[in-house]
């Protein structure tokens, strides 16, 4: 809008013109920030994609301190994503605040009220895109960008380096500001697009009888399961198909996916681990996951104990096997078994006592639970 439209010194102050002015100003204030940003002069434009596997296709990029940057995010995934740019060293704090929004999260794009947020997109359904303007502060610093949809923020993030020396970035394998899988698996490449696009059948979406942080995984042999990252345990397993999520992509409809198959196993105990005593239930803290031969290996902590959980199809199906690895364990561990009809449970170590598996500290360091449907 040019100044002459607002200068009324040489115009008749008619009531109709005044009403027109109010109407125009009202429209401008109603326009989304992303639309107004398109006409703003910028020093740099950056294009990002949200891609399969809870990843951005660029894990870091550089900008000049004090510059103005337009960032366009395209959601090329089949899940809902957003992107928040936050102040240095505040990513985890903002992610936890978004997780705590609960049922109000979807209505507010999982963007919490926080002075640490510098810019953000809304939630984007698959195929959608949005642009934001990031006015880079004058000081050199590292500004994280992150998806705050539940269970995404621990693994789906990157780093904006505001620096006068863009050639001085650390090697990828030594950069603590980018996701660990990049450092571990793509350290030999300094490419801006380190991820391969072919991924296993893994979907983050709303699932029946589960928290908003659900992760559906389709395995081989027509086996699928729902792992709840909000509570760090397996919810249920089904046979015969995967999911129909077509109703979920009205972004904020909060519809649950439909399971295409028959559930034959349900978790009836909640978080299964007990530490030291049968009645000592720890409060788990989700730490993300890594892909192992096409399957996610979930990681979470219960106190100082790090648990790694890998779920695979069993040799005899319908059935599945959970492989557990526990680190820093020095006390007996109890594992609560769920009550399911028509299934057979096999344990690789320990003894079963009253629907619980008792393991010594040494046995608990690596063991497996196999569950086979007998219907």
* Residue-wise pLDDT tens digits, 299-333: 999 999 999 999 999 988 899 999 999 999 999 99
CB 85 within 8 A of CB 159: no
> Is the domain of 172 the same as that of 206?
no
> Is the domain of 22 the same as that of 82?
no
Assigned domain for 262 exists: yes
- C-alpha to C-alpha distances, 156 to 70, 192, 285, 314, 360, nearest whole angstrom: 20, 15, 17, 30, 36
How far apart CA 104 and CA 107 sit, in angstroms, is 6
Beta partners for residue 62, in sequence order = 161
- End-of-domain residue from the set 157, 185, 213: 185
For 317-353, b/e burial (b = at least 16 CB within 10 A) is ebbbbbbbbbeebeebbbbbbbebeebeeebebbeee
Q: What is the pLDDT of residue 245?
A: 60
Q: What is the pLDDT of residue 40?
A: 63
> Is the domain of 104 the same as that of 205?
no
CB 32 within 8 A of CB 56: no
> Is the domain of 147 the same as that of 232?
no
How far apart CA 38 and CA 58 sit, in angstroms, is 22
Q: What is the pLDDT of residue 31?
A: 42
Beta partners for residue 262, in sequence order = 239
> Is the domain of 242 the same as that of 331?
yes
262-266 sheet: strands from edge to edge: 201-204, 214-218, 223-228, 233-239, 262-266
**Domains contained in the chain, number:** 3
Q: What is the maximum alpha-carbon separation in the chain?
A: 92
Domain extent at residue 152: 34-185
For residues 313, 319, 320, 321, the Cα torsion angle rounded to the nearest 10 degrees is -120
Q: What is the pLDDT of residue 1?
A: 32
- Residues whose CB is less than 8 angstroms from the CB of residue 213 and which lie 6 or more positions away in sequence, other chains included: 99, 150, 151, 204, 228, 229, 230, 286
**What stretches in the chain show pLDDT beneath 50?**
1-37, 187-199, 249-253
> Is the domain of 352 the same as that of 275?
yes
> Is the domain of 108 the same as that of 217?
no
> Is the domain of 12 the same as that of 58?
no
> Is the domain of 15 the same as that of 42?
no
> Is the domain of 140 the same as that of 19?
no
The domain that holds 98 is classified in CATH as: 2.60.40.420
> Is the domain of 288 the same as that of 174?
no
Query: Which tokens hold the place of 175?
Result: 């950069």
């Amino acid at each position: 809008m040019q100044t002459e439209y607002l200068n009324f010194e040489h115009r008749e102050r008619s009531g109709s013109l005044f009403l027109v002015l109010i109407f125009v100003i009202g429209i401008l204030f109603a326009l989304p920030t992303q639309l107004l940003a398109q006409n703003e002069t910028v020093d740099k434009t950056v294009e990002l994609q949200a891609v399969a596997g809870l990843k951005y296709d660029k894990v870091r990029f550089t900008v000049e301190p004090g510059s103005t940057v337009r960032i366009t995010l395209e959601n090329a995934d089949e899940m809902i994503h957003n992107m928040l740019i936050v102040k240095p060293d505040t990513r985890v704090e903002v992610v936890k605040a978004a997780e705590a929004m609960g049922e109000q999260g979807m209505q507010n794009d999982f963007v919490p009220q926080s002075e640490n947020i510098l810019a953000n997109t809304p939630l984007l359904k698959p195929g959608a895109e949005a642009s934001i303007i990031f006015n880079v502060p004058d000081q050199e610093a590292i500004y994280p960008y992150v998806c705050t949809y539940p269970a995404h923020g621990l693994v789906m993030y990157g780093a904006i380096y505001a620096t006068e020396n863009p050639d001085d970035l650390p090697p990828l394998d030594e950069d603590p500001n980018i996701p660990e899988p990049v450092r571990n698996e793509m350290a030999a490449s300094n490419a801006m697009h380190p991820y391969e696009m072919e991924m296993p059948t893994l979907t983050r979406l709303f699932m029946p009888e589960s928290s908003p942080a659900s992760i559906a995984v389709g395995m081989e042999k027509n086996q699928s399961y729902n792992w709840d990252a909000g509570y760090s345990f397996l919810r249920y397993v089904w046979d015969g198909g995967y999911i129909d999520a077509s109703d979920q992509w009205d972004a904020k409809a909060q519809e649950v996916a439909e399971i295409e198959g028959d559930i034959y196993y349900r978790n009836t105990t909640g978080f299964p681990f007990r530490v030291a005593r049968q009645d000592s239930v720890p409060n788990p803290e989700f730490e993300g996951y890594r892909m192992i031969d096409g399957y996610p290996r979930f990681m979470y902590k219960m106190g100082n104990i790090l648990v790694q959980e890998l779920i695979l199809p069993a040799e005899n199906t319908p059935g599945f096997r959970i492989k557990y690895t526990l680190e820093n364990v020095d006390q007996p561990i109890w594992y609560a078994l769920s009550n399911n009809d028509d299934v057979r449970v096999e344990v690789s170590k320990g003894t079963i006592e009253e629907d619980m598996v008792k393991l010594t500290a040494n046995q608990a360091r690596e063991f497996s639970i196999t569950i086979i449907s007998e219907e």
